[in-house]
Amino acid sequence: MHLIVCTTYKNAYVTLTDTIKTPTEVATLLPAYVPIFSHELDQTNFLIIKKDQEPCVLTPTGGIIQKVWLTGALTTYDPGRQGGIIRIADPTGAVSFIVRPQALDSLEQGDLVPPLFLSITARPEKNTGTGDKNIRWIVETCRIATRQDRDVWIQAAARSLLERLREMQSGLLSGEGDERIRDAQNHYQIQPVHLKGFGELAEKALLVIKEPGPPVEPAELILSVIKEYSGPRGIHIDDIHKYTRRAALADDLVRDTIRQLIAEDEVYQPAPGYVKLL
């Protein structure tokens, strides 16, 4: 099977090298965030905890990962007092993450309404609560994304996966490989058929990518929101943000565009904080 992955992202992430022999050594040289498909992340249950170091995981394809990057569709959000649980799906499956208020940054809990693309980074920790998973994933950053962002992530995740598969396949064929490869093979009982399955999942994900559509025009989107959702007093700017964030428009850009629309007499302010079509 031959998978074609866009080479634009060739140097975007540090990869594990043959000179690294142990999981502990790998953990000290990890890239900041690694793109990984949810199917593999959901199967990962090998947690490495070492004193004075952040936890990391050993994945079924031999990757040692301290922090993950995932971009996909928000399918559910279950809010809680100390944080909520979001479930994000990509073309290979879905994974649940714990998201605390501080990870939302400029977002609000009310913004997390499916359907919505999210791009998150997360770290693993030992699951001391209920459930059959020994690892839970804690969101560190969270932002609304676009379909194009998701497609870029798919290509990065596919490339990262294929690099691990090549190294794992080499270890299986030669009977050698460094300690992390052997640990992954033994722990997850990896055989060549499993590597083929991971490759097919990457191919499936890449087939989802489509030609990018036209870029969102901020002024057009904002005018359409004002037209559709205005009441007798117009619409509050905070409410406009709720819709523009779903199109991944930055709040600063939206405020600047609204000021421009006011200057051009497209809209006016009938009351402080409100805008309305002229």
Q: Give yes or no for a contact between 97 and 88, defined as CB atoms under 8 angstroms apart.
A: yes
Average pLDDT over residues 179-205: 91
Instruction: Please report, rounded to a whole number, the percentage of residues in the chain having pLDDT higher than 90.
Output: 45
Tokens of 32: 């900041």
Beta-strand runs (E) in 36-163: 46-48, 56-58, 64-65, 68-78, 84-90, 93-99, 116-126, 135-145
| Cβ neighbours, 10 Å, residue 144 | 21
What secondary structure letter does DSSP report for 175?
S
Amino acid identity of 231?
Answer: G
- Answer whether residue 187 shows pLDDT above 90: yes
Q: Which residue has the higher pLDDT, 245 or 43?
A: 43
> Which whole-number Å values give the CA distances from 225 to 93, 113, 139, 273, in the listed order?
33, 17, 30, 15
CB-count exposure of residue 229 (10 Å: 0-12, 13-18, 19+): middle
What pLDDT does 110 receive?
81
CA distance 28 to 33: 13
Q: How far apart are the first and last CA of the chain?
A: 59
Confidence of residue 180 (pLDDT cuts 50, 70, 90): confident
What pLDDT does 68 receive?
96
- Answer whether residue 5 shows pLDDT above 50: no
What pLDDT does 248 receive?
77
What pLDDT does 156 receive?
93
pLDDT digits (tens, 9 = 90+) for 9-51: 222 322 333 333 344 444 444 457 899 999 999 999 999 988 8
**φ and ψ at 258, to 5 degrees?**
-65, -45
Average pLDDT over residues 103-113: 81
3-state secondary structure of 64: strand
Average pLDDT over residues 153-176: 89
* Chain CA centroid to CA 253, Å: 23
CA distance 4 to 88: 25
Q: Which residue has the higher pLDDT, 249 or 43?
A: 43
Tokens of 65: 């990962």
What pLDDT does 213 receive?
65
